[in-house]
Amino acid sequence: MSSNTELLACIQESPQGVTLAELLTQLPNVARRTAQRQIAKFIDEGLVIAHGEGRARRYFGVDVPLKADIQTNNRDAFPSFIPVSADSQDILSYINLPLEARKPVGYQQDFLNSYQPNKTWYLSESLRRQLHKMGKTTDSQEPAGTYSRAILNRLLIDLSWASSHLEGNTYSRLDTRELIEHGKSAQGKAAIETQMILNHKFAIELLVENIDTAEFNHYTLMNIHSALSENLLPNPADEGRIRQHAVDIGKSVYRPLSVPAQIEDALKVVLNKANQIGDAFEQSFFMMVHLPYLQPFADINKRTSRLAANLPLFRANLCPLTFLDVPEQAYSRATLGVYEMARVELLRDLYVWAYERSTQEYLAIKQDLVEPDPLRLTWRDFIKQTIHLIVTSPEQDPYVVIQQVVKAKIPESEQIDLQALIIEELRRLHEGVLARYGLRPSEFSAWKAERQSNQG
């Protein structure tokens, strides 16, 4: 057996990997430089994978079947069409190893503690400039949330569908549109998939409609999670509260914190640091990194982080990050890099690519957007409260209620136009928009039945 064959055999027979020093001990007749040169050739040929630096660098064998799997298994491989940096390639080299070859690791508090808002940057200055240029929607200083409200109908469909798709939801984009716009569930789909889409819709509406007051605090985060997790968790008490038990991460050697008090303390630090970050994209990406890493909830952590990452973008009237066309395997590999290595480069590369995809969609429809009706914008809360009052008081004549509340609270010069607006809103009312007015389907059904009875 040649020295080259012996060298490769030693690497392949070491499932936990082997260092150069260990190889030279096993093969005393092989010179160090010869071994280094031959190992480099093995790496180029795809027969060996290296991880680590200096003396701690370990080499892992890749047999022919495994090599084929890595190249052809689209379910697990990071897509080649998404450009990644050399640092990201290093992360992929490690997380592509079999589970048994990766070192079990717990939550690294230093990863969070070392981040200093507005001093530490996950996104470089040039990257932030690039993202702001891509995501800019207006030259003027519009009120917070103006753009997200203008595109809300499209946003509800795209973000609900794409975020659910990353969780294995099989609803198509068209199915999602029918569900959100017309309340029609897709045939042949599990109830859990329908619930997931509707939960996204409600959570997005919650963020957009409360953008003036929403910030990264306990209240906002718990309510986003509660909206996303409604009717989806084994224990309903886990909706919108800190995780009370240990969790395992599928296909990962990462073990998050398990003590509720420690999780609560770490979450306070995450939110405190997030609120201090001045740049919208850095703030967005910080939440994409640290919420899933902490795993503060029993489940639905990544979904919560994807919506939370949009909060600063909504507030700054930037294009949203919808995750359209983001492959599930790319997202899962990128988060594994954070979980197991506390490294953000691969997730950063995916974030930039995903945001560019989102902006291409939304800037294309920008010119088709009509300017928000100033009257509707000024009195939006009043309109919602009036619609809620009408539907929850089915015994009263809607037109009488509208006249009374408008006359009591609206300046005379705007009363006629606002009455017309509310009547038009009432005519368009359907199950797909009830959450906007704080209404339940049962309340809407009772109101419709009362109206039909009166007309009959």
pLDDT tens for 417-440 read 899 889 888 888 887 778 888 888
In 3D space, the residue among 219, 433, 406 whose CA is nearest the CA of residue 311 turns out to be: 219
Ligand-binding site membership of 303 (annotated): yes
Ligand-binding site membership of 366 (annotated): no
pTM as predicted: 0.70
Ligand-binding site membership of 76 (annotated): no
Note the pLDDT of residue 420. 87
Note the pLDDT of residue 64. 41
Note the pLDDT of residue 66. 41
Asked if residues 312 and 152 have their Cβ atoms less than 8 Å apart, the reply is no
pLDDT tens for 188-206 read 999 999 999 999 999 999 9
CA distance 19 to 25: 10
CA distance 412 to 71: 70
What are the Cα distances from residue 262, in Å, to 50, 105, 253, 288? 35, 17, 20, 20
CA distance 66 to 45: 14
Note the pLDDT of residue 372. 61
Backbone angles phi, psi at 232, to 5 degrees: -120, -15
User: Which segments of 295-394 does DSSP mark as H helices, in order?
Assistant: 301-308, 311-315, 328-341, 345-364, 374-378, 380-391
Ligand-binding site membership of 249 (annotated): no
The tokens 């209404």 sit on which residue? 439
Asked if residues 282 and 119 have their Cβ atoms less than 8 Å apart, the reply is no
Q: Is the dihedral of CA 300, 303, 309, 314 positive or negative?
A: negative
Asked if residues 314 and 280 have their Cβ atoms less than 8 Å apart, the reply is no
**138: how many CB neighbours lie within 10 A of its CB?**
12
Cα-atom radius of gyration of the chain, to the nearest Å? 27
Ligand-binding site membership of 301 (annotated): yes
CA dihedral 251, 255, 258, 260 (to 10 degrees): -90
Which residue stretches of the chain have pLDDT < 70? 1-2, 52-53, 63-76, 139-140, 363-372, 455-456
Enclosing H/E stretch for 39: helix 32-44
pLDDT tens for 71-94 read 434 456 898 889 999 999 999 999
Note the pLDDT of residue 72. 37
Note the pLDDT of residue 1. 55
Note the pLDDT of residue 117. 98
Ligand-binding site membership of 14 (annotated): no
Furthest CA-CA distance within the chain = 99
Note the pLDDT of residue 67. 41
Q: Is the dihedral of CA 273, 117, 344, 124 positive or negative?
A: positive
What are the Cα distances from residue 131, in Å, to 143, 307, 352? 21, 18, 7
